[in-house]
Amino acid sequence: MGSTSEFSRRDLIKRAAALGLVAVPAMSALSACASGGDDDDAKPDKPAGGGGGAGEMKPLKVNASAPLDVVIFDGGFGQQYAKDAEAEYKKAYPQAEIKHTGTQDIAPQIQPRFNGGTPPDLIDNSGAKQMDLGTLVGLKQLTDLNALLDAPSLDDPKKKVRDTLRPGVVEMGQFDGDEVWVFYYAYTVYGVWYSKTNLEKLDAQYPETWDEMLKLCEKAKKKGIAGWTYAGQHPYYIPFSLYPFIAKIGGTEVLDRIDNLEPDAWKHPAVKAAFEAYYELYKKGYILRGTAGLDHIQSQTAWNEGKALFIPNGSWVENESKKMTPKDFRMAVGAPSSLDKSDKMPFGTLWASGGEPFIVPKNAKNAQGGMELLRIMLGKKSTQNFIKAVSSLTSLNGGTEGLTLPPGLASSQEALTKAGRNVVNPRLQDWYVSLQKEKIGKAALGLMMDGRLTPDEAIKKIQKYTDDTRKDDSVKKYKHK
């Protein structure tokens, strides 16, 4: 097993090429990027302080006339919230030309620009085709965002940006040191999403135990309604409810061991119990027929149409599916049901964390401008605009004052309040994107939920994928502190 703290640049480049992060012909350009170096021009200025709005306070020493190149993932949150923030940037820096690109093909479109040394200034690196954050960090291709976090906040210059954020957001952007390479703008509540109206039609409430879940699914089945559906083409959605279920059963240390790629981490009894519970949904015919072939939009549509009661998802689902959601749907999120009385954590335990990862490339021509746009986005005006537009919280701690929240977002707030300190934050999807999405998701969990693998077979495969990753010296390793 190789060192988890030291790694070869040559191995990292090989690994990046294998992941499709870099094109082999562009290796010489990437080698220059990977070297790190001491290029002062690539480093943001230290914050200068000041007061007032964005136009009056320029702590990041932004070049007022420099163009700004922004790429936004056009997914569940759309693009308009970013365009609105860009308009605020334009007010503060009227000479700056802003290029805005919205896409779902983040990696295919942006990787070549990294390779060529001309990356955008700010990227919302999200979605099924996101770039591997762990590899980008390992290759030293990102800008440390501490300058942004230490800058005065937009609304209260007496407070640093970092002091206005929800707990854990800054730490999520750290990988193996004090540098903050990623900023998660949205604050996402993951869990089992459902319609209060559709449960009431079955004279039921959200099941707080797994036995109650199975009974409700059986009751629904008799009326021609499936218990569950999910994004079969993107089975990495399954962990949105499965991972906190594992933590609830066995404690947060089980997820920490999984994140740390420890030997036999996936063989913990809590993992086996959770897998067997989910597999029972398949065995008893409680999963919507054809789910394995559905993408996220199709599965959400079927759920909104009442063809299935439950769907594992994140809080972006309210905005992403709003065009097909009935007015009386009363969308809500539930924490994982209790397996039995031996569970280590109480009912209400759920996964909530920063979402929508924003990055500023190291070789960005206007890194200061990219960070300044993020600072504007973390002002109350942009935050409330985001909340109203997309039914989701931001990482700004607060911002909902005076707003009437839609059902799903109100439910998310209630779930967070109920969870209290029992909030988990698995890091596997941030540290090892390929392992999480391609191996654990597609090659194991998706097959298990479709009946093509038993829980024991799925666990064996996932543990092997984990072991292979741990032993691969070309993969930068990260651990919980």
Q: Distance between CA 376 and CA 131 in Å, rounded?
A: 25
Residue 8 in this model has a pLDDT that exceeds 90 = no
> Which is more confident, 261 or 355?
261
How much of the chain exceeds pLDDT 90, in percent?
82
| The residue to which tokens 């750290």 are assigned | 174
Q: Letter for the amino acid at 107?
A: A
Mean pLDDT for 229-241 is 97
424 sits in which H/E element: strand 423-424
Torsion of CA 174, 176, 177, 180, to 10 degrees: -20
Q: Distance between CA 423 and CA 347 in Å, rounded?
A: 11
Give the model's pLDDT for residue 391.
87
Give the model's pLDDT for residue 177.
87
Mean pLDDT for 208-234 is 98
pLDDT digits (tens, 9 = 90+) for 92-146: 999 999 999 999 999 999 999 998 999 999 999 999 899 999 899 999 999 999 9
Q: Distance between CA 155 and CA 153 in Å, rounded?
A: 6
Backbone angles phi, psi at 366, to 5 degrees: -135, 65
pTM of the complete model: 0.79
Residue 26 in this model has a pLDDT that exceeds 70 = no
Mean pLDDT for 381-410 is 92
Q: Distance between CA 404 and CA 401 in Å, rounded?
A: 9
| The residue to which tokens 């024991």 are assigned | 456
Residues 6+ apart with CB under 8 A from 65: 93, 95, 96
Q: Which residues pair with 209 in a beta bridge?
A: 338
Q: Distance between CA 336 and CA 347 in Å, rounded?
A: 7
Q: Distance between CA 128 and CA 32 in Å, rounded?
A: 28
> Which is more confident, 401 or 418?
418
Domains of the chain and CATH, by start = 9-185+355-400 (3.40.190.10), 189-352+427-471 (3.40.190.10)
Residue 3 in this model has a pLDDT that exceeds 70 = no
Give the model's pLDDT for residue 57.
56
> Which is more confident, 264 or 12?
264
Task: Give me the chain's average pLDDT, please.
Answer: 89
Give the model's pLDDT for residue 7.
37
> Which is more confident, 436 or 14?
436
Token digits of residue 18: 């294998």
Residue 54 in this model has a pLDDT that exceeds 70 = no
Cβ neighbours, 10 Å, residue 252: 20
Give the model's pLDDT for residue 342.
97
Confidence of residue 53 (pLDDT cuts 50, 70, 90): very low
pLDDT digits (tens, 9 = 90+) for 320-370: 999 999 999 999 999 999 999 999 999 999 999 998 999 999 999 999 999
Residue 150 in this model has a pLDDT that exceeds 80 = yes
Q: Are 86 and 56 in contact (CB under 8 A)?
A: no
3-state secondary structure of 51: coil
Q: Which residues pair with 195 in a beta bridge?
A: 331
Give the model's pLDDT for residue 43.
39
CA distances from 20 to 236, 298, 313, 439 (A): 19, 28, 27, 15
CA distances from 302 to 296, 307, 313, 390 (A): 10, 5, 14, 21
Q: Are 194 and 317 in contact (CB under 8 A)?
A: no
Residues 6+ apart with CB under 8 A from 399: 380, 383, 384, 387, 393
Residue 13 in this model has a pLDDT that exceeds 60 = no
DSSP state of 11: H
pLDDT digits (tens, 9 = 90+) for 208-218: 999 999 999 99
Q: What is the CB-side half-sphere exposure of residue 155 using CA atoms within 13 A? A: 16
Q: Distance between CA 127 and CA 71 in Å, rounded?
A: 13
